[in-house]
Structure 1
Amino acid sequence: MITNVLVENTVILFALCWPLSFYSSSWTRKDRPVAQCAAGTWFGIACIIGMMIPNAIQAGLVFDARTVVLSMAALFGGPLVAGIAGALAAAYRIWLGGIGMLTGLGNVLLPIVLGLAYRYCHQRGLVRIGCWQLLAFGLLLHFGVLGLVALLLPTAVVLTAFREVAATLLVALPLGTTALGLLIKDLIKRNNTEQALKISEARLRAITQALPDLLLVIDEDGRYLDIICSERSLLYDDPSRLIGRRLHDVMPPAEEQRFLDFIHETLRSDTPQLLEYTMQTLGGRRVFEGRALALDIPDMEKRAVVWLSRDITERTNAELEQRIAAIAFESQQGMLITDADNRILRVNKAFSQISGFTSEEAIGQTTRLLASGKHDADFYRAMWESIATTGTWIGEIWNRRKNGEVYPEWLTISAVKDAQGKISHYVAAFSDITDRKLAEQRIHHLAFYDPLTGLPNRRLLLDRLQQAMASSRRTGQLGALMFIDLDNFKNINDLHGHQTGDEVLRLAAGRLSANIRASDTVARLGGDEFVVMLEGLASDAVLAGSQAEHVGMKLLSSLDGAYRLNELNLHSSASIGVVLFGEDDSTSDELMKRADMSMYEAKLSGKNALRFFDPRMQQAVQERLRLEEEIRRGVLTGEFFLYLQAQVEQTRGLTGAEALVRWRHPQRGLLSPAEFIVQAERAGLVQELDVLMLRQACLQLAQWSGRVGFDELTLAVNISAHLVYQDDFISLLLQLLQASGANPQRLKLELTETLLLDNMPEAIARMNQLKAHGIRFSIDDFGTGYSSMSYLQQLPLDQLKIDQAFVRGLPDDASSQTIVRATCALAAGLGLEVIAEGVESEEQRTALLANGCHRYQGYLFGKPMPVEEFERLVVAQPQRASASG
């Protein structure tokens, strides 16, 4: 029964909302309070009617659809509408009285509060008013109604109410809320659209009436359908007499046909068409600019166009005056007027300033007075043909000043015709473009030449190489391309500064240029790389190769000489790669790559050398590239892993290990670093491998933590210079330690001397940061670089590692013993540990011990081995230690 009553309430509600369509466009506007009061009253009446239908569960407990009405009044009408409706509903509910009066008043207040909250959120773009949003709102509202019932009524009444109306409240009324909200939203939207159309129509009418233009609607037969004009003086007759008439009734046949053609062209086109025309009007003869667009209106008998004409009489007069002013002589450009025979009639001051000829000297002369002699007859013939055809010529020309100087100018010549259409005069305007040409030359030089050495750059070299290759194919003569790289140039830059390095590059460029022919090319690619291109060599490849080798050896000799700069006496040899061209269809890029490969082979052979391209180099390069790709894949797929080589102390036995990388190649099996590390460095992959090894070392230390016999072990990891100076290296390493849980005090980083000397202040700062976290440092291969007390005192080191080159000569080599003894004494004085690598025999260990070295690494104590094998070695350590003791 209650369900039926509530459904009836909802149906009545929709019926009562129909009259709101007449108010909805106004009660949502803030400036219409009267309409809002009316709407609020109507909503209140709807609530009262709903409460008048007998739907009580018991005396004084009434359920109806007023919550739907009031929530929508608040959502769409705002506070005023909701307040009036709520006041009426509350008054009637108080009049009804009964046990549920407080609940009923709550059911008046709750939908108003929630509706206003919904309105507030919607106005700020937090929520939309849509089907699902309204349904969710309805559910929230009527759950709230049930909450009020449970809160304010006795338990027995609550149970009865829930049993009777809960399902209906949570199904029918949320659906009713959704439907009513969508209905009111649609009514408001529709009325707003109608109102906007009315406003737009009124605005458009006002605009068209206010525009100083003439608007015509003309059909395809030339009949006037509509005329809107703000000024009658723009028309040739009264608008009321023109509508319905055709073009031939008001204008001459020639003009009529022109207008009809324009109308038909507009109807055929999808875009607006323009027409400029002159017409006699009530206000005199006027010039108009017409713009027409096809007017497609359904059910029209004939197609028509909308034609907007604007009076441009004043504009055309102004343009005419501007054209006249453009010919004025007091211009920054040189100007002259000649007759039809090119005899000068008049010149301006700028003409005299540019050319040097006074007006008295120029007037009466022909324009041949200015000819430079740089242009042939064909040039002038083409120029005068253009003037005769188009009436003008614009371009660059070289003329001569009075002092004989030839200069470039930008010239415009315009023909002036008389009333019969014949050329009567020529007007010329020109400007001196000498500065512009100089700027273009500077730009050209910057684009094609190296700013440091003045040599051609890569762009110009490739252009000349293309021409040389084409010439070789035509003549059969071969050429040679030499790729030159200065040896050890980086050391000059690092030790003496870039300014000194730049001066060495300039001197090297001069030496190269001095040892080739004028017909050859020497270019700088960048850095310390140069290219020499030889042309016109012999047709025989052997003889051409001999010629190229002769030049190359001269270049090597010249570059190997000392560079004297102030008090410095610097040396830098070169490596040269040579490739011949003209024998096949190789491209310029291929030649450059081959020359580069040859140069690289020359460097590998010991520098200060020359190598010709061999096809086997190409195969080697391809192998290297393939290896690079395999390394990249291996890093991603986990093919690289740790091998450990034991490090021992004379009395304590095994104290740790050095972490060494190994590669489990899918096809080639287990590979040592010697088989891939050089290529990894060339490909820039060493940093990735270093990070991978650091991560695995940290994980291994974390696994050993807490294990008896393992938790005191250290792992030494050798890292590259690129990684150390990488901006995020410190944070990366600390993150690896934190993520793995490894003890930083068990990690030792091995660095090379040359790495530290590259940037000593930065190296010290970075090492100190890591040292603060407990990480230890060791100098790898000590004694092979620039070993000095100075840097050892500055660096926060823990250990020196004696290079195996000094261990190999023990015990027989006295100099090796001296170096070991001195290193151990130096380390002891600085409080540093010393470890020797490459220890392979007991005799070597005995000699090391005798000279003060107590820590060792080498095959005597174990080859590099998998982690599992190393762990077995650690477990067996007590027996091994006692055996050796």
Structure 2
Amino acid sequence: MALELIKATALILALGLLQGFNARFWRENQSASDLFSGLIFGGMCVVGMLMPIVLAPGLIFDGRSAVLAMASVFGGPLVGAVAGFVAAAHRLSIGGPGAAVGVTVIAASVLLGLGFRAAAARGLVQRGFWEFLAFGVLVHGVVLIIFNWLPAAFAARIYDELALTYVLTLAPATALLGLLLQDLERRTETERALVTSEARMHAITEAIPDVLMVLDEDGRYLKVRAPEAGLLAAGIDELKGRLMGDVLPADKAALFLDFIQATLASQTAQVLEYELDTITGTRTFEARARALDALYDGRRAVVLLTRDITERVRLEQEQRIAAIAFESQQGMMITDARSVILRVNKAFTEITGYAPEEAIGHKTSMLSSGHHDAAFYQAMWASLARDGVWEGEIWNRRRNGEVFPERLSVSAVRSTRGEVTHYVAAFMDITHSKAAEDEIRRLAFYDALTGLPNRRLMSDRLNQAMAASARSGQHGALMFIDLDDFKNVNDLLGHHNGDLLLQKAGARLRDIVRETDTVARFGGDEFVVLLACLSETADEAAQQAERIAEAMLAALSRPYMLDGHVRQNSASIGVAMFKGTDHSLDEMMRRADLSMYESKQLGKNRVRFFDPVMRETVTARLRMEDEIRSALAARQFDVFYQPQCEEGHGIVSAEALLRWRHHTKGYIPPVEFIPVAERAGLMPALGRYVMREALDEQARWARDPVTAHLTVAINISAAQLYQPDFTGEVLESITRSGADPHRVVLELTESILLDDMHGAIAILEKLREHGIRFSIDDFGTGYSSLGYLQSLPINELKIDRSFVRELPQSANSLAIVKTIVALASALDMKVIAEGVESESQRAVLFENGCRHFQGYLFARPLPADEFSALVHRRHPAQGE
């Protein structure tokens, strides 16, 4: 009998193993696990009842009480109920006199187990061996009491043969089963906690924006996880199992190995900042590493978290740069959204006169000059609100009350919500540059010598007059006036007296015309007069123009009182009438010019109206055009070179000048054939010819030690500059000739550059990339501004000979020269004075900062061989 009970006990313990499997299998579904547990416990009871201790038919004993009690203790009501139901159903199916008592034992075991479970949950009883043993004694004691319900004969036999063995066997079995199930429960909870912890850790590692790596002490990648592949030196699959030295550059691998060893030797986290070439480029990282307490796959290892701090480093660098920039030469001011000053820099104080403590806390209106109306400031604030930035010129007031112009840039700083929090203002005092620009702007539209409007202003007024004529129906007249034999004045009396005569002639013309008319000087001895608002009748308008022209002839023919000389001079006048805009501006200029030319051809000192049948003049010009073309083909053009000298260094460069060696007329001066070539569109061909000859000569200079230092300056016309492939032609010519592009200067006039500013910038920038430099010829006679000079890659300015000619006597010319030299110095440009003919002119220019000169004082334009000989004579030491 005892053996049968021991078998039942063994079966009970086997139940624990089966329950352990169930707990692991149904880990994720508690209800299914409880149901299956109930079936297991109930099934074990059935198995036990199939191997019972049989005292009599229908009277059996087994370990179901221990199983059901512990099923209820550890499984709860559902497990206990299912197990009890299965066991009871089977016991009833067996039948016999003990069936009712057997079912009662089943119910009692379940209820006692639930009672113990409730007591343990309330802390009334512990779950230990002795408690389980006592509980087993209690359960089987109750079972023995229930046996009293059996017939007396059966009950007596049970107490005599089975009771003691029953209790002594099943009570310890109950305790052992309880310990087994308790251990199983704890292991299951531990596994669940581990699974939960691993899931939580996985979620955390997946959520962090850092690269996570586990590296062994040799630098081998054991585990790699990255939020994006671009943060790694290679793909994750390529890294796992490989050594850092196989993936990273040697210096980076050594750095990491040292870092790993330092981490393994430390009990605290270690930090390393480094740069690494990743899949997406070079990035900056901050790594934090700590040694793992346990071995990882049998190796000592560290866990390393790496964060991409590229953007943070960039922002920090920008902040440092911003801090340095704040202390720049520009005045800087930071305000809040209400324009209250929060911070200023040193330059702010130097410009405005306000110390920081005097400005901070006050509104920016403290600087207001009163020069701008409310509409100006409304437009400024509207721009800031719309674009977040405003730039422009503004007048402000210094602490001492002085009003000054400044270049101001204001930027709005917005929060992440888009609200303006601050304004940052940067400004620069432009008092001096404004004065220089005003002076140059004055020269933009007026002739420096006579003070009369220049070609640019006259062209504008002629356009306006033609448009007004179209509206009113009134005629107008354009007159070209050329002083006869003016060259003789310069040759006989000197350029100073020539300039004085030009000034007096301009004044006489201005005295004759009405205030609504315009008298302009186009250069040299050429004046242009515009008569507007003449009669609506063509004959009357022509008579009005003729009367005024005759008055001009009379005035210009009166004697001129010059310095120590009396000079009488005549003039030739050409008149072109116009009404409306039937003819273009260029056509009107051409007609007046043709008329003036015809006047000279007829004997000078007369007025000539434009006649559409002036074929002789046109024929002559066409003849010259053909001769120019033939001369180009026959290579009858020569390139002369006029030295450009630097104080203390002698001849440093030369300007290439074109001369026409006519087969019958000898040398023809450029002033005669260049205008014809311009009208005929021949300037690109002439320009290419000069370019080719000058570059060949520069290449020859480079091969001679005496002349190797020389730079050649080449004049470029508008027609040549804006040719479709001008850049390619220049570079091809340089390559073909072997000339050094760093010793080539292209000279251009201001008007050429302003015809197409953007196009000129593109052309010049491309040529500058190859080392070619640029010079502004006749500077000060056209339109120029600081913006224009800053936009173009200009290297030098040439002071026009008209300013040099009046030195040192003319204070106005001296002021202009000083302005140009100062402007060139401020813009880091070289300045050259042309037309220097006397030592006194050179001395004045030198005293005022000019170090480069060109003119007859140094040498006239020379043929190439004579120029080279001159350089050899003046620089003999260089040839030794």
TM-score (normalised: structure 2): 0.38
